[in-house]
Structure 1
Amino acid sequence: MLTWPCSIPGCTNRSTPRVGSCLTCCQHFCTIHNDSSFHENPEEHDPEYDHYPGITASADARQLEHLTGLLNSANLSAQADALRPGHTGTIVVPTSTRDYIGGGMNVILPVTFDDGVRWIARVRQKRFDEPPPAMRKMLVASEVASMRAMRENGLKVPNVYLPLTSDPNLDYYFLDFVPGSPATAPLTEHDRPSQLPRLIQDYALFQIALSKLTFSAIGSLYPCPSHPDGQPIIGPLCSRTICLDFEPWFLGPFGSNKERYLTMIEYTLQEIREERLFQQKAVLGYLAHLEIKDMVERYQEWDDGEGEGFYLKHADDKGDHIMINEQGGITGVIDWEWVYTTSKAEAFAAPCAFSSAAEYYQKGTTALSNLEEMLISEYVRLDRPDLAKCVRKGKKFQFLNDMVGEEPNRVLMDGLRECFGRKRMGFESEAEWEEWGRELYRHDMGLTELMEWFDKKER
């Protein structure tokens, strides 16, 4: 998990993953110093201004103001002009932090050329918890390589243009402006009833086109060092959850999804044993990952379709990555950061956008939503029963990707159990779950050592 040096002067420890990064004072703290006596209490919250979920308004404003200063000095317009000789582009940097357009990781700036051509400058925010420069460059290289591979194969993704001169202070690139508006995140039957049939049809067609682009392993795409304009290569899998503090930054590539998940689970278990992860729920987090490991090891259908090759998977398919027109037709699919290759079964499972968020997060339901059933019907109509099967059997991937490397969740764990053919436990509390898990895995040496460490710490 990504960590940083502790912000306390003289401390040589690394920060506690995630919970050690304070969203109020924008500093990083190790396990020893991660309490309110060393920094501001991160409970401040301004409901009227929440540019990035969880981060306070004052901290967000400070970071965007820093980004504004860098953008004003960088002269992105000149970089855009260099990519279109003979034309002049205009980029307006917002004067107020409230006027930025974007999400938690990036902002976008419209680029308008003198001949009417429109681009977007996609700029990574200057957050206090941003990855190291080498990792950021790796992420951009992977995203660009993936988008170019899709574009070359006729998929509706925007063209990408890298600046001719790199900027040590900013990570950005240009891409074609995509008309339309983002679909709802997540989609519901009630938000766009007149647009849904066309949207689902176009989404199925996009996925069918994507199914023609295959790769040799599970990981992420990168430009080939010896042939930067040639075919990309498969390297480590870019992951927001499972990453290292040092090169190669990510794990992989992998030959199968079973290998991928087991490697990531073992890494998470090691992080817990080394007191770097889930300090407040270390035992329960360990037990949860032991159970997930057991499910993954015993599952007999991992190789279903993997012999055909591997396919690109959008890593944040919650709905607003799909741009649509007034009729619901897809004008483009955007935001491919963290994209990776995976098995056919996972790549063509329904996107998170088609799930009912309430049913999924509040009940851990494994039943298909009406939108997922509509997608299955569309695949069948288009004579792709193989992709329909991926939707029918693909729910487990959503649960796995929300649980491996993440804090234990009673509701989602019951859904994962059901996906793997086990009964839902329905624990009323985490304490009840932990007691059950301690008995089930009482012979696991790692759990024994972890509990002995906690007993010594309490004494």
Structure 2
Amino acid sequence: MWTCDFAGCGKPAVRNLGNCILCNRHLCSQHLQYGVHECPKWEVTSPLRGGIPCSGPPLQYDRVTRSSVMGGMNYHIEVCFDDGIRWIARVRRFNATSSPAVLQNYIVQSEVATFKFLERTGVPAPKLFYFALDNEDNSVVVGYILMEKLHGKSLRWSLATQEQRRMMEQLADVFVELSKYPFDRLGSLHCLNDIHVSAFARESLTDFVQSEMRTMGPFSSLEEYHKSEIRLILDLILREEIYSQQAVDAYLIHRFLLDLVPIALSKLVQDDQRYYLKHADDKGDHIMVDEDFHITGIIDWEWAHTAPPTHAFNSPIGLLPVAEFYRGTNNLGSNEITFARILGEKSRPDLEGLSGTDGFLGLFQGLRDAAKVDDGVDWDGWKSAALYRYREDTGLQLLLCRHGNLVSEG
């Protein structure tokens, strides 16, 4: 498919394994070998630290260790100063799945604002040193954030068998600290003259109409937020931008969810319009720990947003019995119960009760059972009823005509 990009070589490049996504080159079997292919080195003098020279390690793509330097959205490059100080350069990945630069810049600005807010708290997080956006004034060409490199490694919950309760106690301390800083709106943090809540900084909550970015929020109530999010999804389905292969099913489900919002919210603790910062990707590897599983910091604050206490202080995804949820089970897992009790023990009983399918169909069944709406009905029975229930919905009618389906009258 490709020829080798190594100077003077015209051999065919190795497919897949020969594609270096760091230096954007295709390599043959010879030049792919370790010690032959090395990504370009770089050395600079940093004005941010009084001209102390710094450099980065050779950027070598290694499928075994790539998770330590590359996440789903960003590269993490170690910046090494001659006096031993280590920083991290957080650089957005760029490929066909990347969002437009204007949205990437907005997300970076929100993450920067989040770091600035966290500096005012007792939450252990990397210190922010500098950032640049993706624009023509940026000599590096891509947007990036320079931050402190924290000691330790990302948590692997399954390895912390003897230390899990101590880990939960430390994480509960983080939640208690965040509970001291309420906000009055739902959205992501932003910083112009001061830190405030602005529109959500996340791809899934952003629309583009004729190349113009349209963000969502901020919102003053949970109902307003959930309904706006679902309406955006319904619109994207009609525009064939998402769920293009299951458009009718996806539309029916989200149309049902739109009706479910006020019912579900009525069963929650009353929305007192006090919202708290929530990490948006808390599956466990956002926690840095040392050799003894002491938390050294919380990283990856991209997409962070404010949320009601029922969401902000519930158990992190890493503690949830995910396999049980996919089977449609709504029971709390043992780790969730333990974490809730720990929050209660830390003199925050108001937070204690908050930590709490075979494929998607199991999840959807569990949702309906929990809400006591259309519960006990299998997928085929529910879909048949939903098609009739929403038969007057113009969006559904459009999809059914588009896909050649009809709604039965009974």
Which band: TM-score by shorter chain? 0.7 to 0.9
Q: Offset at 1:65? A: 2.5
Correspondence 1:173 to 2:145:
yes
Inter-partner Cα distance in structure 2 for 1:62 and 1:348 = 41
CA deviations on 1:228-276 (whole Å, 9 max, x unpaired) are xxx2122111224232124444211111121111011111112222333
Name the counterpart of 1:222: 190
Q: Specify the code of the residue in structure 1 equivalent to 2:255.
A: L
User: Are the structure 2 counterparts of residues 77 and 210 from structure 1 closer, same or farther at C-alpha, using a change threshold of 3 Å?
Assistant: farther
Q: Which of these residues, 206, 222, 246, is aligned with residue 243 of structure 1?
A: 206
Inter-partner Cα distance in structure 2 for 1:67 and 1:170 = 18
Task: Spell out the pairing of 1:329-344 with structure 2 (5 A cutoff).
Answer: 329-344=294-309
Inter-partner Cα distance in structure 2 for 1:76 and 1:359 = 50
Inter-partner Cα distance in structure 2 for 1:327 and 1:352 = 22
Q: Specify the code of the residue in structure 2 equivalent to 1:127.
A: N
Q: Offset at 1:205? A: 0.1
Inter-partner Cα distance in structure 1 for 2:240 and 2:330 = 33
Q: Specify the code of the residue in structure 2 equivalent to 1:292.
A: L
Normalization by structure 1: what TM-score?
0.74
Q: Offset at 1:67? A: 9.2
Inter-partner Cα distance in structure 2 for 1:378 and 1:127 = 43
User: Are the structure 2 counterparts of residues 97 and 324 from structure 1 closer, same or farther at C-alpha, using a change threshold of 3 Å?
Assistant: closer
Q: Which has the higher helix share?
A: 1
Mapped contact 1:355–1:369 kept (Cα < 8 A): yes
Name the counterpart of 2:372: 421
Q: Which has the higher strand share?
A: 2
Name the counterpart of 1:321: 286
Task: Spell out the pairing of 1:11-50 with structure 2 (5 A cutoff).
Answer: none
Normalization by structure 2: what TM-score?
0.82
Name the counterpart of 1:263: 228
Over aligned residue pairs, what C-alpha RMSD do you find?
A: 3.0
Q: Which of these residues, 389, 392, 403, is aligned with residue 440 of structure 1?
A: 389
CA deviations on 1:38-97 (whole Å, 9 max, x unpaired) are xxxxxxxxxxxxxxxxxx9469x353333999x959x5744xx22111422221231445
CA deviations on 1:191-239 (whole Å, 9 max, x unpaired) are 3221112100000000100111222210111112xx2xxx212211122
Identity between Structure 1 and Structure 2 (%): 28
Name the counterpart of 1:411: 362
Name the counterpart of 2:90: 122
User: Are the structure 2 counterparts of residues 294 and 410 from structure 1 closer, same or farther at C-alpha, using a change threshold of 3 Å?
Assistant: same
User: Are the structure 2 counterparts of residues 266 and 67 from structure 1 closer, same or farther at C-alpha, using a change threshold of 3 Å?
Assistant: farther
Inter-partner Cα distance in structure 1 for 2:405 and 2:169 = 59
Correspondence 1:108 to 2:61:
no
Q: Which of these residues, 146, 152, 163, is aligned with residue 120 of structure 2?
A: 152
Q: Which of these residues, 318, 341, 358, is aligned with residue 323 of structure 2?
A: 358
Inter-partner Cα distance in structure 1 for 2:50 and 2:125 = 24
Q: Offset at 1:415? A: 2.0
Structure exhibiting the larger radius of gyration computed from Cα positions: 2
Inter-partner Cα distance in structure 2 for 1:57 and 1:132 = 26
Mapped contact 2:207–2:214 kept (Cα < 8 A): yes
CA deviations on 1:177-196 (whole Å, 9 max, x unpaired) are 11122112xx35xx322111
Q: Offset at 1:324? A: 1.4
Name the counterpart of 2:269: 304
Q: Offset at 1:344? A: 1.6
User: Are the structure 2 counterparts of residues 244 and 111 from structure 1 closer, same or farther at C-alpha, using a change threshold of 3 Å?
Assistant: same
Q: Secondary structure at the match of 2:364?
A: helix
Inter-partner Cα distance in structure 2 for 1:76 and 1:166 = 18
Name the counterpart of 1:368: 332
Q: Secondary structure at the match of 1:155?
A: coil
Inter-partner Cα distance in structure 2 for 1:302 and 1:83 = 52
Q: Specify the code of the residue in structure 1 equivalent to 2:201.
A: C
Inter-partner Cα distance in structure 1 for 2:74 and 2:56 = 16
Inter-partner Cα distance in structure 2 for 1:314 and 1:166 = 29
User: Are the structure 2 counterparts of residues 77 and 346 from structure 1 closer, same or farther at C-alpha, using a change threshold of 3 Å?
Assistant: farther
Task: Give the number of aligned pairs.
Answer: 373
Inter-partner Cα distance in structure 2 for 1:380 and 1:130 = 42
Q: Offset at 1:132? A: 1.2
Inter-partner Cα distance in structure 2 for 1:456 and 1:308 = 43
CA deviations on 1:385-442 (whole Å, 9 max, x unpaired) are 11112114xxxxxx9xxxxxxxx93111112223323364463xx6554323213333
Q: Specify the code of the residue in structure 2 equivalent to 1:170.
A: V
